[in-house]
Structure 1
C-alpha cells in the first residue's frame, strides 16, 4: 500500500502495458466492477484525435464552466505533476485523494488479478473514474491516451464523442494508413450518441462516417454541418451549426487551427447543453489557453508540443501568421515512435538554425538520429538540452525567435526548467 504521493507515482510511472496479459480493457472492467462501476454514474464527453484534442477539450471546459457547470477533465501527458491529469474546475486532485484511490485499486489487483498491474495510463484512468464519481461532477471531459478503440478510457459511454484530427502517429500500435488509424479513433463512437468531427483527410473521414452510420450516431462534421468563416488576421470566426450563428467569435489561442478547435468545442458543448448562451461562448473562448501549445514563455521563446507532421504544419502556419519577419531557431527532441522526417524537413525549409537534442526517456530518439533526418546547412547536435537552452537564451538576437518543439514530454521538462531559469 502507498504511504505518500511520491511512493505512489514512483511505482505507477514504472508500470508497463506488457505486465498485464489479459484481453484489452479486461483489467479495467474487472477493477471498475469491483469498485462499484464509478464510470456509470458520471456524464462524459470523450475526445480522441492525433492533434488538437487537448486544446478542444480545454475550450469545451471553458464554455461549460462559464455556463455554471462543475467540470471534470482528464488529460495527458502532465507537464509538471501527475495531479494535473485529473482536475475539477481546473483544481487538481489532492495528493491524499490520489493515494487513497490508488490504494483501493491495489487491493483489488492483489485480490482479483494475482498482483498483475495494468499500465500506468490505465491505472490513472481508474483513479480518475473514482474521483469524478465521488465528487459528483456535472460532466467529465476525457482525453484518450493512444487511439480510441482499445484505449483504457473507452469503457465509458459518453453523451458526445469528439474526433479532432487524424495523422500518421503511433503506427506500430494503430496501423500504417490513415484509414487504419481513423478506425482506431472511431472506436470511441457509441450507439446513438452524437459525434463531432474535425478530420479533413478524405479517407479518414470516410471511415468515421461509416462507423457513425453503423452506430446510428448523429454526425457533426467540420465544413459540412459545422460551417466556419475565418478571419485569421483578427483570430476570429463566424460559427454556424445546430441552428446557431455567432459572428466575430474571438479565440485567444494563436493559429487558424485553433479556430477549428474552438468550433468543435462549441458544437460539443451545445450538444451536451443546448441552453448555453452566445454570450457565455464568446466570453469563455476569450480566456481559453493551453500550456505548451504555442506558449510564449517570453516574447522570444515559444514552446509548442508539435509531435507529428500535422502539429508541425500548424506550428509553422502560426509562426507565419504572427511573426513572419523573424528568424526561427528550432530546438527539437522527440520519441522514437514517430515519423520525424516530414516534420524536420518542414522546419528545415524555414529555419535559420536547427538544433537537435534528446530527453532521458526509454523511448526517446537520440539527437544524432533526429539530426540525420535534417538537410539544413546549420544543424547542430546537443546531448545536454539544459546547457543548449542556457546558451541560446543568453545569445538570442532581437530579430530571432527560439522555438522549442517536439515531444510533449520534452516540452514538459523544458517548461519546468525555464520557470526556474527565468524566475
Structure 2
C-alpha cells in the first residue's frame, strides 16, 4: 500500500509495459468487472486520433462548462508536469490523497486476483473510471492511449465517438497503411452511437464509413456534413465560420492558434450540437462562443516571453500544423528551431519540413531510454545552420539568452520534451 505520491508514481511508471501477457482491453475489462463495471455508471465521449485529441477534448470541455454542466470528467495523456493532470473533474485535478486511495484499491484487487500487474496506462484507466463513478460525473471525456480497437479505454459505451486525424505512426502496433490504422481507430465506433471525424485521407474515411455503416452509427464527416472556414487572423485569436445542415454560427473567435485548431474546434461544436439534439445538455451559441474564445491547451503553440513558442509536434502531421500556424501568425518572421524527440517517429519528414522554413536548427535530447540521440537527429538535417548538443537545458537556456529580437524561437518535438521545457521556462521566462 502506498502512502507517498512520489513512490507511487515511481512504481507506476516502472510498469510501462506491465507483466501481464493478456490483451490490454481484456485485462482492464476483467479488473473493472471486479469493481462492478463503474465505467457504465456515467455518460462518456470517446476520442481517438493521431493528433488533436487533447485540443478537441479541451474545447468540448469548455463548451460543456459554459453550458452549466457541473461535473465534466477528463482522462488525457500524457501529462506535462504532474500525473494528476491526467484525471480531472471540471478543471480540478485528482488530489494526491484521492489518487493514492484509488491506486491502492486497484493494487489490492490485482493482488487478490492473480498478482499480475497490468501496464501503467491500464492502471490509470481503471483509476480514472473508479474516480469518475464515485464522484458521479455528468459526463466524462476519454482519450485513447494508442489506436482504439484494443486500447484499454475501449471498455466504454460512449454516447458519441470522436476521431480527429489519422497519420502513419505507431505502425508496428497499428499497421503501416492509412486504412489499417483507420480500422484500429474506428474500433471506438459503437452500435447506434454517432461518430464525428475530421479525418481527411480518403482511404481512412472509407474504412470509417464502412465501420459506421456496419454498426448503424450515424457518421458526421468534416467538409461533408459540417464545415469550418477561417475568416481572419487577429493579434491573439482567429475567426472562423461554422455550419452543419441548417445550423450556422459565424465569426467564432478562437484562442487556439493554427488552421488545424479550427478543425478541432469544429469537432467540439459538432459533438456539442449532437449532445443537445439527443437531449443530454442544453448547448447555446453563447456557450460555444465564450468557450472557444478562452479554450487553450498547454504545450500546443504555447507562447512564452517575447516570440518564444513551444509545441508538442511529435509527428510529421503535427510539424506541418505547427509550420502552418507559424506562417499564419508570424508570416514575416524568421524561425529558429530546437527539436528533441523519441526514437519511434518519422524524424526525417519532420526535419525536412522544418528545414524549408528555418533560419537555424538545433537538435538536443531528453533523459529517456528511447530518446533519439541529438547527433543522429542532426545528421538527418541538410540545413546549412544545423547544430546539436545533448544537454537540452544548456541548449534552451543559451537560445533564450541569445535570442535574436525579431526571430521566433520554436521549441518542439516530443511532448515529454515539451513538459521538461515548459517547467524550465515557467521558472526562467514567463512573466
TM-score range, shorter chain: over 0.9
CA distances 1:97-149 after superposition (whole Å, capped 9, x unpaired): 1001001110111111x211111111111100011001101000011111111
* CA apart distance, 1:228: 2.2
Contact 1:232 1:255 in 2 (8 A): no
* CA apart distance, 1:242: 5.2
Contact 1:74 1:87 in 2 (8 A): yes
* CA apart distance, 1:18: 5.0
Q: CA 1:161–1:377 in 2, change beyond 3 Å: closer, same or farther?
A: same
2:26 is matched with which residue?
26
* CA apart distance, 1:24: 3.6
1:250 is matched with which residue?
253
Q: CA 1:321–1:127 in 2, change beyond 3 Å: closer, same or farther?
A: same
Q: Is 265-274 or 206-215 further displaced after alignment?
A: 265-274
1:111 is matched with which residue?
112
* CA apart distance, 1:229: 2.8
1:269 is matched with which residue?
272
Structure 1: how far apart are the matches of 2:365 and 2:248? 47
Q: CA 1:232–1:207 in 2, change beyond 3 Å: closer, same or farther?
A: farther
2:158 is matched with which residue?
158
2:85 is matched with which residue?
84
Contact 1:255 1:317 in 2 (8 A): yes
3-state SS in 2 of match to 1:273: helix
3-state SS in 2 of match to 1:356: strand
2:131 is matched with which residue?
131
Structure 2: how far apart are the matches of 1:415 and 1:31? 36
1:288 aligns with 2:295: yes
1:220 is matched with which residue?
220
Structure 2: how far apart are the matches of 1:107 and 1:412? 32
Structure 1: how far apart are the matches of 2:245 and 2:158? 19
Aligned counterpart in structure 2 of residue 366 of structure 1, from 360, 373, 379:
373
1:188 is matched with which residue?
188
2:209 is matched with which residue?
209
Contact 1:73 1:85 in 2 (8 A): yes
2:242 is matched with which residue?
239
Contact 1:232 1:256 in 2 (8 A): no
* CA apart distance, 1:23: 3.0
* CA apart distance, 1:260: 0.8
* CA apart distance, 1:232: 4.2
1:6 is matched with which residue?
6
Structure 1 runs not aligned, ≥5 long: none
* CA apart distance, 1:36: 1.4
Aligned counterpart in structure 2 of residue 417 of structure 1, from 421, 424, 427:
424
1:96 is matched with which residue?
97
3-state SS in 2 of match to 1:249: strand
1:399 is matched with which residue?
406
Structure 2: how far apart are the matches of 1:288 and 1:72? 16
Contact 1:353 1:379 in 2 (8 A): yes
Contact 2:18 2:120 in 1 (8 A): no
3-state SS in 1 of match to 2:242: strand
With normalisation by structure 2, the TM-score equals 0.96
Structure 1: how far apart are the matches of 2:205 and 2:379? 34
Contact 2:24 2:122 in 1 (8 A): no
1:53 is matched with which residue?
53
CA distances 1:275-333 after superposition (whole Å, capped 9, x unpaired): 31111111111000011000001222100001111111110011001111111110001
RMSD after superposition: 1.1
* CA apart distance, 1:338: 0.8
Structure 2: how far apart are the matches of 1:169 and 1:321? 26
3-state SS in 2 of match to 1:324: coil
2:263 is matched with which residue?
260
Q: CA 1:258–1:150 in 2, change beyond 3 Å: closer, same or farther?
A: same
Contact 1:242 1:267 in 2 (8 A): no
1:388 aligns with 2:395: yes
Contact 1:39 1:133 in 2 (8 A): yes
With normalisation by structure 1, the TM-score equals 0.98
Instruction: Write out the 4+ residue segments of structure 1 that deviate beyond 6 Å after TM superposition.
Output: none
3-state SS in 2 of match to 1:286: helix
Structure 1: how far apart are the matches of 2:245 and 2:88? 29
3-state SS in 1 of match to 2:351: helix
1:167 is matched with which residue?
167
